[in-house]
Structure formats: C-alpha cells, structure tokens
Amino acid sequence: MKHDILAPVVGESITEVSILKWAKENGAQVKAGDQILEIESDKATVEIVAEQSGMLTITKPAGERVQVKSVIGFIDDAATGTASAGASAPTVAPPAPPSAPKPQAAQAPGTSAPRAPNPPATDANLSPAVRKAVVENNVNPSQVSGTGKEGRLTKGDVLSFVAGETAPKVQTQSTLPTLQDKPGDRRVPMPMIRQRIAERLVYAQHTAAILTTFNEVDMKAVMDLRTKHKDAFEKKYSSKLTFMSFFTRACTLALKQLPGVNASIDGKDFVYHDYYDIGVAVGTERGLVVPVIRGAGNMSFAEIEKAIGEVALKARNGKLSIQDMSGGTFTISNGGTYGSLLSTPILNPPQSGILGMHKIMDRAVVMDGKVEVRPMMYLALSYDHRIIDGKEAVTFLVTLKDLLEHPEKLGLDFL
C-alpha cells in the first residue's frame, strides 16, 4: 500500500513551504521514525520523519516550493527499496527550463509593460488568520492587493494596507524595474526565510516610528571579572562565561525600571509585559534568526549561558521551531561578533526596543581628568517613538551603562 507524504502545516498563516533537502535518496528503504526530509517555511525549519516503513519515492525535489498538504512523495510498505545511509540527489526529473518570453507589443519610449493586477480576494479564499485580521481592522479584502500565491491575501498584506491608509502616501513608480541578465549573472530563488526577514524589516520601517539613541560603555570591569572567573565558571557549570549573560542580565534589570521599552503596541492599546523574554539575534548561513530566551529575568548567569548556547546551536543546525522564535519582548543583537563598530538595529515587530552591541575597541577617554586607554563599546537602542519617549530611551542606555560599569549591581550569583 502506498502512503502519501504531505507537505506539513507549520502555521495557520503559512500556505507554502520549501523542500530544503531530502535525508534519504529516491528508492531507499526507510523505517518508521527515520528522518526523511527537512521543510523550510518563512519562519523555521521542520524535520519530517517516516510514519511507515517501506520504499521511498520522491515526487518533489529539493529546492521546490509546494503548497501545504500537497503530496511530495510516498512510501510503499509492500515494496523493498535499496539501503541508504544518507541523502543524495533524488532521481526526479528536473523542472523544465523557462520558455522563451513571448513577443510583446511595441511600447512607447520611456514606458513599461503594465502588470496584470491580482484578482480581488473574497471571503471564501481567506485563511483564518487573514479573515481575523480583516475583521479586526474593518478592511474590505477586495481593496487589498494580495502577494501570496495566485494573488491570495496574507496577514502581512492586510496589516500593510492598514498601515498605508494612515501613513502619508508616497509617489512611487507603477512598476519596479526588472534586471536583464547578462553573461556572468546567476539567478537563485530567494530562500523563504530571507523573504520573511525582508517582509518583517520593511513592515517595521513602514509601521513604527523608529529612532535610535547611542551611548558607550567602559567594558574594563566586566572584562576583568570575566577573565578572573571564566575558568572556574566553565568547570562548575560546563558552560562558557560570555558577555551575553552580562548584557542579558543588565537588560532585564533596566527593563524592569523602564517597562515601556519592554512593551508592544496592539492597535490603539499599549501592552506592557511583566516578564522578560529576550530575543538573541543569531547569524546563520540562511539568514539572521532571533530565538527567544524565555523568563530571562528569573534566570541565573549559568541558566542564561546554557539557554543561549542551546538556541544558538539549534539555529546554526537549522533546528529552530516556530515556538523558539515567537513571543519575545525585547531583542539583543551583537554586531560586534562580526566586527561592527556602530550600527542602527531595526525593530523586531511587535517589540518596541532592540539593543545593538558592538566591537570592543581600545580608545582614549578622559577618566578623572586624565586621558586613559580603555576598552570601550558603543551601544545603540532603536525604539518605537509611539510608545517610548526620548527620555526613556536615553535613561535605559544610561542605566545599562551604569550596571555594566559596576557589575556588582548585576547580582553576580556565580561568585
């Protein structure tokens, strides 16, 4: 009997996923519980395991985008396949090359071909998440241009439409220019996670009043403390003592004093979070992801280091789930890891604040009337001015600076 392998449903608003890779080759013998492929959505990577034993037949190759619940292969429990130790290229016919473009009617100089508009959306083809967004924002779906497959509306389309109605209209070109490939150009499909990153960043800049304020912190006290205790810390807790635990602890203490920086905006309401779920930006081969350290305000230094280490490893191995990246209240991004001296981080919606850490550099500073060389780091706080005033933002960074330059105020539970 043949058992279909279906593209999984990985979120109520996600209608399309990408086959990242097959872990078994076409025609391989698989056992129930074996991992057979990885699926990538615009939010996370999901492993799929075989539900039956038998011979695997692959009908959709790696790299192809498919609708959720569509058939991508099957397992025949009455057939015997070949032994397979791992993944290899499936013997599936490659997609046909794109056909040559059809000749177009002559156009007037300086004009471009009009693009066919997406068909209007109707209630019948709205997902539950989109229908909820339409109702809550009192939007007529037929007035919104869908960017999903076959012109379907996404939740982001609805929210962008709502934001666009209240924002000043900007004169733009009716169509975007299309690049004409030349020898040496190479096209590859944009990964879904990169599309999601782009969508969220553009959404943040279009909907929030983002400002950035800066300060600098003398890292000598933290560096001396870390140098003195890192070996004992690692021996006791089997985890390295990094700067991230100091910054995470300092941020939670500063957020307790300035709750607006830990809050969100929902429609016309301010939502204050009396807990501290800190997102930690992690760079991966497929893009930047932000797993969340939940309950960071109640964690010890060792617990923070362990949690960061676990999510960072999952991120780099592509094992993060949607749950791992949902629900943060504030984000820390460490561009200093890559050598960045100064940057302006972009908000991670619906959060209202994000801290940018940067490279530690020896600089000449005035200390008690004398010029000294100190290890300095620039800090940047990007914030949503709709909920956070400049005074609050500056006070947050000043509080953070004080805690890090006097680390005994952090409650050094590992000493």
Question: Considering the domain 211-410 in this protein, what is its CATH number?
Answer: 3.30.559.10
Question: Considering the domain 119-162 in this protein, what is its CATH number?
Answer: 4.10.320.10
All residue ranges of the chain with pLDDT < 50 are 85-122, 165-174
User: Half-sphere exposure (CA, 13 Å, Cβ side) for 16?
Assistant: 16
Q: Specify the CATH number for 2-76; select among 3.40.640.10, 3.40.1370.10, 2.40.50.100, 3.90.1150.10.
A: 2.40.50.100
Closest CA to 174 of 220, 122, 217, 113: 113
Determine the pLDDT at residue 171. Answer: 42
Q: Catalytic one among 3, 229, 273, 385?
A: 385
Closest CA to 401 of 239, 232, 221: 221
Determine the pLDDT at residue 346. Answer: 92
- Catalytic: 406? no
Determine the pLDDT at residue 309. Answer: 93
What is the residue extent of each domain of the chain? 2-76, 119-162, 211-410
C-alpha–C-alpha distance, residues 169 and 336, integer Å? 37
Determine the pLDDT at residue 298. Answer: 96
Determine the pLDDT at residue 345. Answer: 94
Closest CA to 217 of 66, 406, 25: 406
- Catalytic: 385? yes
Whether the bond between 375 and the residue before it is cis, its omega within 30 degrees of 0, is no
In tens, the pLDDT along 302-341 reads: 999 999 999 988 888 878 877 888 889 999 999 998 999 9
Q: Catalytic one among 389, 402, 406, 413?
A: 389
Q: What are phi and psi of 410, to 5 degrees?
A: -80, -10
Are 119-162 and 211-410 in the same CATH fold? Answer: no
Contact call for residues 251 and 278 (beta carbons, < 8 A): yes
CB contact set of 304 (below 8 Å; sequence gap of 6+): 244, 245, 248, 249, 293, 296
Determine the pLDDT at residue 83. Answer: 66
Angle at 279 between CA 278 and CA 280, to 5 degrees: 115
Determine the pLDDT at residue 78. Answer: 86
Determine the pLDDT at residue 100. Answer: 43
Closest CA to 286 of 185, 196, 187: 196
In tens, the pLDDT along 64-94 reads: 888 888 999 999 988 876 765 444 444 444 4
Rounded to two decimals, the pTM is 0.63
State how far the alpha carbon of 31 is from the alpha carbons of 23, 55, 207, in Å. Answer: 13, 9, 49
3-state SS, residue 228? helix
- Check the CA dihedral 61-195-8-329 and report its sign: positive
Determine the pLDDT at residue 125. Answer: 66
Determine the pLDDT at residue 168. Answer: 42
Closest CA to 153 of 187, 134, 174, 126: 126
